[in-house]
Protein backbone atom coordinates (compact mmCIF):
# COMPACT_ATOMS: atom_id res chain seq x y z
CA UNK A 1 0.00 0.00 0.00
CA UNK A 2 2.74 2.41 -0.87
CA UNK A 3 2.34 5.26 -3.30
CA UNK A 4 5.60 5.95 -5.05
CA UNK A 5 5.97 9.31 -6.65
CA UNK A 6 7.91 12.49 -6.36
CA UNK A 7 8.33 12.16 -2.60
CA UNK A 8 9.14 8.45 -2.44
CA UNK A 9 7.11 5.84 -0.63
CA UNK A 10 4.23 7.12 1.50
CA UNK A 11 3.09 4.60 4.11
CA UNK A 12 0.39 4.53 6.75
CA UNK A 13 2.37 6.47 9.41
CA UNK A 14 3.01 9.30 6.98
CA UNK A 15 -0.66 9.42 5.95
CA UNK A 16 -1.72 9.59 9.60
CA UNK A 17 0.68 12.48 10.22
CA UNK A 18 -0.71 14.32 7.18
CA UNK A 19 -4.29 13.78 8.37
CA UNK A 20 -3.43 15.06 11.87
CA UNK A 21 -1.86 18.20 10.40
CA UNK A 22 -4.96 18.77 8.24
CA UNK A 23 -7.16 18.28 11.30
CA UNK A 24 -5.13 20.86 13.22
CA UNK A 25 -5.23 23.39 10.37
CA UNK A 26 -8.89 23.12 9.41
CA UNK A 27 -10.50 21.81 12.59
CA UNK A 28 -12.90 18.93 13.04
CA UNK A 29 -15.98 20.97 12.08
CA UNK A 30 -14.66 21.86 8.63
CA UNK A 31 -13.45 18.38 7.59
CA UNK A 32 -16.84 16.99 6.42
CA UNK A 33 -17.35 20.05 4.24
CA UNK A 34 -13.87 19.70 2.74
CA UNK A 35 -14.44 15.97 2.15
CA UNK A 36 -17.76 16.60 0.44
CA UNK A 37 -16.30 19.24 -1.85
CA UNK A 38 -13.36 16.98 -2.73
CA UNK A 39 -15.79 14.15 -3.52
CA UNK A 40 -17.85 16.41 -5.78
CA UNK A 41 -14.70 17.59 -7.56
CA UNK A 42 -13.49 14.03 -8.17
CA UNK A 43 -16.94 12.92 -9.36
CA UNK A 44 -17.12 15.91 -11.71
CA UNK A 45 -13.64 15.18 -13.07
CA UNK A 46 -14.49 11.51 -13.70
CA UNK A 47 -17.76 12.48 -15.39
CA UNK A 48 -16.02 14.95 -17.65
CA UNK A 49 -13.31 12.44 -18.56
CA UNK A 50 -15.88 9.75 -19.37
CA UNK A 51 -17.97 12.22 -21.36
CA UNK A 52 -14.92 13.21 -23.40
CA UNK A 53 -14.10 9.58 -24.16
CA UNK A 54 -17.68 8.92 -25.28
CA UNK A 55 -17.66 11.94 -27.58
CA UNK A 56 -14.33 10.85 -29.06
CA UNK A 57 -15.68 7.33 -29.66
CA UNK A 58 -18.80 8.74 -31.35
CA UNK A 59 -16.62 10.99 -33.50
CA UNK A 60 -14.50 8.04 -34.66
CA UNK A 61 -17.60 5.95 -35.40
CA UNK A 62 -19.12 8.81 -37.40
CA UNK A 63 -15.90 9.14 -39.43
CA UNK A 64 -15.91 5.40 -40.16
CA UNK A 65 -19.54 5.61 -41.36
CA UNK A 66 -18.67 8.57 -43.57
CA UNK A 67 -15.76 6.69 -45.16
CA UNK A 68 -17.86 3.63 -46.02
pLDDT on residue 17: 93
pLDDT of residue 62: 76
pLDDT at 36: 92
CA-to-CA separations, 17 to 23, 25, 32, 36, 45, in angstroms, rounded: 10, 12, 18, 21, 27
10-residue stretch averages of pLDDT, the chain, 68 residues long: 61 88 88 89 88 76 71
> Total domain count for the chain?
1
Full residue range of the structural domain in which residue 19 is found: 3-67
pTM: 0.49
d(CA 64, CA 57): 11
Amino acid sequence: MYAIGMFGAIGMPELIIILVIILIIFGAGKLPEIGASMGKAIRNFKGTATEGEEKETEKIEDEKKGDS
